[in-house]
Amino acid sequence: MGIKRMLMVLSMAMAVGAFSAPAVAQANVILTDPPGTKVPVGAGITATSTNFHMPTSIGTFTCKKVTLHYTLVTNGNNHVVLNPVNTPTHNGTTEGCEEHTVFGSFASTATNFGTGQLTINTWGTGVTPFTYTTTVPALNLHCTWTGNLHVRGTNGTDIAHAGPSSVVGSGPNCPASGTVTGTFTLETSNGTPVTIDHVNTP
């Protein structure tokens, strides 16, 4: 076989190999409501938890309800971006907070509660700055907490898991650190569930 013919056969083999190579999967992430329909940019999104808790060296701080308010500014394909409503760090409201210690449970409040901008990547995860202040009058505690909240969405559901995320405490007699966890459900401003879709597509 001549050199020219050998080069031609080799080129054809390489071309066939290129066309038969498997496609590289690409990951996308979007919020939908109803499932399969993208939530429009500009929509209000709330994230609500009924099991927020933070163990520390003195006990466990809990809230019966935590609600974070956002505006959707980007919805796919490479990421979802949620901007906090009100101010960059105080977009949350809380209800029914308590400090549970070995001496008993004490009524508490959580104020200045919120996150920064939250970006969810193609695998349903994200990290955002996080801050809040807890007050426990019976224990004379007024503590400020800061850290980064780690979020992980469950594909095909309206559920996002927060934490475990470390926070740093400051204030007289306050614990030096804590660990935040909670399960949040996503809804639009009209109360319908928002589904997190982060899937591989060919």
Q: Model confidence at 198, in pLDDT bands (50, 70, 90)?
A: confident
Q: Tell me the whole-structure pTM to 2 decimals.
A: 0.82
List pLDDT tens digits, range 158-171: 999 999 999 999 99
pLDDT > 50? residue 18: no
pLDDT > 70? residue 110: yes
Q: Model confidence at 80, in pLDDT bands (50, 70, 90)?
A: very high
What does 3-70 look like in DSSP terms, one character per residue? HHHHHHHHHHHHHHHHHHSPPPPEEEEEEESSTTSBPPTT-EEEEEES-EEEE-SS-EEEEEEEEEEE
pLDDT > 80? residue 94: yes
The per-residue pLDDT for 57 is 95
List pLDDT tens digits, range 181-196: 999 999 998 899 999 9
Q: What is the mean pLDDT of residues 137-165?
A: 95
Tokens matching residue 11:
């080129």
pLDDT > 90? residue 157: yes
List CB contacts of 95: < 8 A, sequence separation 6 or more.
63, 64, 65, 66
The per-residue pLDDT for 9 is 42
Q: Could you count the other beta carbons within 10 Å of the beta carbon of residue 137?
A: 11
Q: Model confidence at 14, in pLDDT bands (50, 70, 90)?
A: very low
Q: What is the mean pLDDT of residues 16-43?
A: 71
Closest by CA to 27, choosing from 77, 81, 80, 82, is 77
Closest by CA to 83, choosing from 115, 37, 47, is 115
pLDDT > 60? residue 115: yes
Q: How far is CA 135 from CA 37, 48, 63, 92, 174, in A?
A: 42, 21, 12, 16, 10
Average per-residue pLDDT in the chain? 86
Tokens matching residue 134:
């807890």
Q: Model confidence at 60, in pLDDT bands (50, 70, 90)?
A: very high
Q: What is the mean pLDDT of residues 53-77?
A: 95
Backbone Cα Rg of the chain: 24
The per-residue pLDDT for 64 is 97
